[in-house]
Amino acid sequence: MYDFPLTIQHIFWRVEKLYPESEIVSRSNKIEKMSYREFALRVRKLSSFLKSLKLEKGDKVASIEWNTRRHLELYFATTNMGYILHTINVRFHPNEIEYVINHAGDKFVFTSPEFEISKLKTSLSGIFYLDENFDKAVEMQKPIDSFPQLDEKDEAVICYTSGTTGKPKGIMYTHRSIYIHSLTLLAKDAVGISRNDTLLVVVPMFHINGWDLPFSALMTGAKLVLPGPRPTSKDLAELIEKEKVTIAAAAPTIWIDFLNFIEKENYNISSLKTVVTGGAEPPRIIAEKFNKMGIRLYHAWGMTETEAITTVNQDQEKISSQGIPLPGIEMKLVSLDNEKELPWDGESIGELWVSGAWVAKEYYKEAEKSKETFRVIDNRIWLKTGDIATIDKYGYIKIVDRAKDLIKSGGEWISSIDLENAIMSYYKVFEAAVVAVKDEKWGERPVALVVPKKEYQGKITESEIKEYLLSLNRFPKWWIPDKVLFVNELPKTSTGKLDKKVIRELVKNM
Residue range 14-38: mean pLDDT, rounded: 97
pLDDT > 70: percent of the chain: 99
- Say if residue 238's pLDDT is above 90: yes
Of the CA atoms within 13 Å of residue 339, those in its CB half-sphere come to 7
How confident is the model over 195-216, as pLDDT tens digits? Answer: 999 999 999 999 999 999 999 9
Q: Are residues 389 and 465 in the same domain?
A: no
Residue 167: CATH number of its domain: 3.40.50.12780
**Nearest one of 107, 229, 231, 218 to 158, comparing CA atoms:** 107
- The long-range contacts involving 33-38, CB below 8 angstroms and separated by at least 24 positions, are 34/69, 36/218, 36/221
Q: Which of 413, 459, 467, 505 is catalytic?
A: 413
How confident is the model over 323-351, as pLDDT tens digits? Answer: 999 999 999 999 988 999 999 999 999 99
Residue range 284-293: mean pLDDT, rounded: 93
Q: Which of 79, 87, 122, 161 is catalytic?
A: 161
* 38 annotated active-site: no
Assigned domain for 1 exists: no
The dihedral over CA atoms of 100, 104, 108, 109, expressed in degrees to the nearest 10, equals -30
Helices (H) and strands (E) in the chain, counts: 14, 25
* 13 annotated active-site: no
DSSP-derived pairing of the beta strands 84-87 and 60-64: parallel
Q: Are residues 234 and 184 in the same domain?
A: yes
Residue range 182-198: mean pLDDT, rounded: 98
- Say if residue 285's pLDDT is above 90: no
* Contact residues for 124 (Cβ-Cβ < 8 A; gap 6+): 101, 106, 107, 108, 109
Q: Which of 371, 404, 408, 508 is catalytic?
A: 408
Residue 410 confidence (pLDDT): 81
Q: Which of 152, 305, 307, 362 is catalytic?
A: 305
Residue 412 confidence (pLDDT): 78
Q: Are residues 84 and 71 in the same domain?
A: yes
- What 8-state DSSP symbol labels residue 309? E
Q: Are residues 193 and 102 in the same domain?
A: yes
Q: Are residues 390 and 496 in the same domain?
A: no
Contact criterion met (CB below 8 Å) for 190 and 184: yes
Q: Are residues 128 and 180 in the same domain?
A: yes
Residue range 158-173: mean pLDDT, rounded: 88
Domain tally, the chain: 3
Domain membership of residue 339 as a residue range: 328-404
Residue 413: CATH number of its domain: 3.30.300.30
**Pairwise CA distance, residues 161 & 380, whole Å:** 23
Q: Are residues 336 and 312 in the same domain?
A: no
Residue with the larger pLDDT of the pair 123 and 356: 356
* 384 annotated active-site: no
How confident is the model over 414-434, as pLDDT tens digits? Answer: 889 889 999 999 999 999 999
Q: Are residues 410 and 477 in the same domain?
A: yes
Residue 250 confidence (pLDDT): 96
* 382 annotated active-site: no
* Contact residues for 32 (Cβ-Cβ < 8 A; gap 6+): 25, 26, 69
Q: In what order do the strands lie in the sheet with 443-452?
A: 429-439, 443-452, 483-486
Q: Are residues 284 and 359 in the same domain?
A: no
Average pLDDT value over all residues in the chain: 95
Residue 340: CATH number of its domain: 2.30.38.10
